[in-house]
Structures are given as C-alpha cells and as structure tokens.
A and B are shown apart, each in its own frame.
Chain A
Amino acid sequence: MSSKQSDSGNRIKSLTVYSLLCAFCIVCGYIEFLIPTAAIAPGVKLGISNSVALVLLIKGDIKGAFAVNITRILLSALLFGSPFSLLFSFCAGVISTVVCAVLIKMPKLSPIGVSVAGAVCHNTVQIAIASFIFGKGVWFYLPVLILSGVICGTAIGLLGIVLTEKIKSDF
C-alpha cells in the first residue's frame, strides 16, 4: 500500500514539475515572440525554451524531454499561433527532439553539439515545410538559418550545461 502511495506521489511530483517546465517554456516563447528580430533575420528566435528539453536530455529523461517539448509546442500554438504555425513548429520540434535524443547518447558530442544539431535540424525542417507551401524560393534563406542555428544552438547548449550543473536534483 505504501509503495503504491509513494508511486502516485512520484507521479504527482513529476506531473507538477513537467507542468511547471511547460509553463516556463511557454513564457519564454512568448517573451521571444515579443522581441522583434525581423530587422536582422526574420523568423529567427533564440529558443530559450529548448534549454529545458536539453537539460532533461542531459539528465537522461528522454520521455520527459518529449513530453515537455510536444506539450509546449501544442499549447504555444493554441495561445499565440495558428494551425499553420503549429504545422511548422510541431514537425520541426518533433524531428529536432528526436535528433537531439539520439545524439545525446553519443559520448564524443557535448550538449553544445547536440543543441547545435537540433537547432539546425529544426530550421531546416521548417524551410522544407515552407518550400512545400511557398515554393522552392525559400531555400535561399537556408544559409541564414543554418548560421542562426549554429549561433543559437551554441548559446542554448551552454545554457543547458550551466543549468544542469546548477540544478543538482533530479526531476
């Protein structure tokens, strides 16, 4: 009986933690949504919320990373986006999370590399979807997005490492 109780206690705990992480992600996403980047490179975002999934991956919680990422993408689209933007962010989000989840297992790659790979994947998938909808012309934007993916990915990778060091407890 007691083990059952602690089991349900754990479930409640992890549900709460994941919910909080989702909320954090959505707020981060909203703040980034408010920062205009159109002048420098339209559509480019830092993606601070990705650091949450990265920390979860570093801690070995792959399920949690998927849960948080997918939930936040769906909720963000519901709150600030459209079905159209959902298509973009959902496909890109899922694929880049899969890539990150695979790469995090590689001992020769640090979280920075994982994050960079994820960011570039995310951007490339979005361009690919955009090319289906708007035509091939959008591929011209790919180099900009690769470059921004490298920069943002490195930043998020560093953030993820620092956060993982600071957060000692497991979720």
Chain B
Amino acid sequence: MKKLKRFDIILIGFLLFASLVLFTVFGTIKRKGKRVVIKQNDTVVYSGELSKDGEVSLKHNTVKIENGEVFMKSADCKNQICVKTGKISKSGETIICLPNKVIVEIE
C-alpha cells in the first residue's frame, strides 16, 4: 500500500496548514465587533461605534472605549468582576456588572 508519495504529503500538509491559518485569520476578522451597547436595568443607556474612543460614565460604573477595545474602567461594586473581565472587542462578547445591573455588549 505504498500509494502516498512524498509530494502528496507535502501538498496535503500545506493545504491543511493553509486552511488552519485562514480559519484563524478569518475567525478574528469576522468576529470583530462594530458597536458598543451599554445597558442598565435592561434599558439601553449608550450605543456607539467601537472605533470611536471615549468614556461613558454611569451612575456606578465607568466604561472606557479605546483602540477598538472596551473595558470597565471602574465600578463601585464589591466584587469588581466587571473590571477584572478585562478588554473585549469581538462581536458577542460582554462585560457584566451584576451588582449594578450593567451590561456592556459588543455587536
């Protein structure tokens, strides 16, 4: 059963590698979010472009948009989970501050 030759393996290996690379590359491009939506108590309090830098101050939280990434700059809650979530930039990602009922979502 010596059917596969060396160049077959090289060709197949190259193609598998190429598809893997494209998967990763396209995966990151595709999921790049466009808009930032901030909700408090289920009502939208802010909606804006992800590419536009800025700071949104809420009653208990401060959300910062910088270089296409969003993070919770500060929160007055005890657990600080939202602050520790770090930066988000991809579509569907969220930062949630449960004590203050704030949801930052990327669309």
Contacts and interface: CB of A to CB of B under 8 A. Distances in A.
A120 B7 contact: no
A117 to B, nearest CB: 6
A104 to B, nearest CB: 13
B5 to A, nearest CB: 5
B contact residues, range: 10 to 19
Interface string B8-36: 10011001101110110010001000000
Interface residues of A, number: 21
Contacts of B15: 116, 120, 146, 149-150
Interface class of chain B by DSSP: helix
Given A146-B15, A146-B18, A146-B22, A116 B8 contact: yes
B16 A110 contact: no
B19 A143 contact: yes
A143 B11 contact: no
Given A113-B11, A150-B16, 12 more contacts: A108-B5, A110-B8, A113-B7, A113-B12, A117-B11, A120-B15, A142-B19, A143-B18, A146-B15, A150-B19, A154-B12, A158-B3
Interface of A: 106, 108-110, 112-113, 116-117, 120, 139-140, 142-144, 146-147, 149-150, 154, 158, 161
